[in-house]
Amino acid sequence: MVIKKVCCIGAGYVGGPTCTVIAYKCPEVTVTVVDLSQERIDQWNSEDFNLPIYEPSLVEVVKECRGRNLFFSTDIDTAIQEADLIFISVNTPTKTFGLGKGRAPDLKYIENASRRIAKIADTDKIVVEKSTVPVRAAESIQRILQANNKPGCSFEVLSNPEFLAEGTAIRDLLNPDRVLIGGDETPRGRRAMEDLACVYENWIPRKKIILTNTWSSELSKLAGNAFLAQRISSINAMSAICEATGADVAEVAHAVGTDSRIGPKFLQASLGFGGSCFQKDVLNLVYLCEALNLPEVAAYWHQVIAMNDLQRRRFANKIISSLFNTVTDKKIAILGFAFKKDTGDTRESSSIYLCKFLMEEGAHLNIYDPQVVPQQILSELKYPSICDDPKKVDRLVTIFKSPYEAIKDTHAFVICTEWDEFVTLDYQTIYNSMLKPAFAFDGRRVLDHDNMQQIGFHIETVGKRRNMKGLNGYTPVTP
């Protein structure tokens, strides 16, 4: 089958950019992205291109394709009916209740989407699971589809996990390291995989398109995110040793990363990783291992999350101890609330947890982020697991439109997100506007620490002791 019409269920961080790039690169394919949320679809369709997500270059590509062969709609049924191929790109968050709470992914959105496809479709479809799912989820989708399909209508389910990173989504989609397609090892399954591969071949060289069995494809996505998260936790574990000994984690990362077997990427120590995927997908893997009766394997991967939690806590403790062991009623500016630069996404951002720890101590927080809207910041902080009293958030948190205004008259500022603009702020002016001693906490290691110290700041960072006097009782062992 030559794919002419594509439907994507879920117009979020994955469905939106992925299908925009497919429409951009395949002008002869009509792509309709559908969602239950009228608000989200209205934003995708907004005249002033005020899109629901921020990604560099996304607006430009949407401008090129929207109304030509790219459409956003809430008419899910028509889009399903007309499509040759349907991507399922709905959310799969960690369960917050019931069996597998705090570990297993909630698959209700996947199941609802599958049931809708089965109910509506009256011609053969290729159904592609793009959401990140546990191994063998495709089998469940296939069963739901087969048990509910209309006579004469058949489905082929493929796994095609998405590897884009937020902040570089368009770049990643235009030039991916690889595209992974998993399917049944039957002639029909093979044909469906080839049909999807043909779509990608419009702009991606064939040698970058990997075909595997369905389960390998599903597991590879979890494995990929687990390996990436593990590297961050590994360097963060080293940062704790650096802070206690006088080694510098940047020097260690450089020395380790120049080994070609290891490589330099993802070795940046920080106050911890965030984002909607790393924690969720590692927990998903942990749950899978537990279900498979592999408790040691589960414990191994769970430690990646434990190390991340520790890193956030250690950084908050460093702030509190530096500020003379109390932050109660002190004013602290938080620079950056997105989980990383070049995105407006705040899901699982380390900023949230840092704010939680500081609010528990009664600190007043002045928050600034160039992309995250105030409403979003407040709703993250008012989540019951972060702060059980929304009024406390209203009392302690103020949101600013400028970093200078946020930092003025504070005791300290903390860099939580590595936005480029934070590197080039006028730190002399900032220093002059702060209470003294003026403290700077660089949770992303983006500032020039010697320069900050020369200006007069007391600066603390991750993975490097600024004050070499007294090594916390550590005595180097002499052989």
Residues labelled catalytic: 277
Residue 39 Cβ, how far from ligand NAI at the closest point, in Å? 9
Nearer to ligand NAI (CB atom), residue 37 or residue 453:
37
Residue 113 Cβ, how far from ligand NAI at the closest point, in Å? 4
Helix-strand-coil split of the chain, %, nearest 5: 45, 15, 40
Stretch that binds ligand NAI, among 160-168, 183-191, 232-240, 443-451 (CB under 6 A): 160-168
Q: Name which position in 24, 72, 109, 457 contacts ligand NAI (CB under 6 A).
A: 109
Taking CB under 6 A as the rule, does residue 14 contact ligand NAI? yes
Chain position whose Cβ is nearest to ligand NAI: 12
Strand arrangement of the beta sheet that strand 30-34 belongs to: 70-73, 30-34, 5-9, 85-88, 125-129, 155-159, 179-183, 209-213
Q: Name which position in 242, 253, 277, 412 contacts ligand NAI (CB under 6 A).
A: 277
Binding flags for ligand NAI, 66-105, as an x/- string (CB under 6 A): ----------x------------xxxx-------------
Separation between Cα atoms, residue 26 and residue 203, nearest integer Å: 8
Nearer to ligand NAI (CB atom), residue 148 or residue 398:
148
DSSP letter string, 13-54? TTHHHHHHHHHHH-TTSEEEEE-S-HHHHHHHT-TT---SS-
Helix (H, G, I), strand (E, B) or coil at 341: coil
Stretch that binds ligand NAI, among 10-18, 136-144, 307-315, 411-419 (CB under 6 A): 10-18
- Find all residues with CB under 8 Å of 46, minimum gap 6, and list them: none
How many residues at the interface with ligand NAI, by CB under 6 A? 27
Q: Name which position in 6, 7, 15, 443 contacts ligand NAI (CB under 6 A).
A: 15
Taking CB under 6 A as the rule, does residue 135 contact ligand NAI? no
Residue 278 Cβ, how far from ligand NAI at the closest point, in Å? 10
Q: What is the DSSP letter of 295?
A: H
Residue 97 Cβ, how far from ligand NAI at the closest point, in Å? 18
Nearer to ligand NAI (CB atom), residue 76 or residue 387:
76
Q: What is the identity of the amino acid at 356?
A: K
Length of the chain: 479
Taking CB under 6 A as the rule, does residue 35 contact ligand NAI? yes
Separation between Cα atoms, residue 4 and residue 36, nearest integer Å: 24
Taking CB under 6 A as the rule, does residue 276 contact ligand NAI? yes
Taking CB under 6 A as the rule, does residue 160 contact ligand NAI? no
Q: What is the DSSP letter of 277?
A: S
Q: Are the C-beta atoms of 292 and 306 separated by less than 8 Å?
A: no
Binding flags for ligand NAI, 163-182, as an x/- string (CB under 6 A): -x-x----------------
Nearer to ligand NAI (CB atom), residue 163 or residue 404:
163
Separation between Cα atoms, residue 192 and residue 199, nearest integer Å: 11
Taking CB under 6 A as the rule, does residue 11 contact ligand NAI? yes
Strand arrangement of the beta sheet that strand 412-415 belongs to: 397-400, 364-368, 331-335, 412-415, 439-442, 458-461
Q: Name which position in 13, 44, 278, 287 contacts ligand NAI (CB under 6 A).
A: 13
- Find all residues with CB under 8 Å of 115, minimum gap 6, and list them: 144, 148
Q: Residue 374: is the preceding peptide bond cis (ω within 30°)?
A: no
Taking CB under 6 A as the rule, does residue 377 contact ligand NAI? no
Separation between Cα atoms, residue 232 and residue 58, nearest integer Å: 28
Residues within the interface to ligand NAI (CB under 6 A): 9-15, 34-37, 40, 76, 89-92, 109, 112-113, 131-132, 162, 164, 166, 276-277
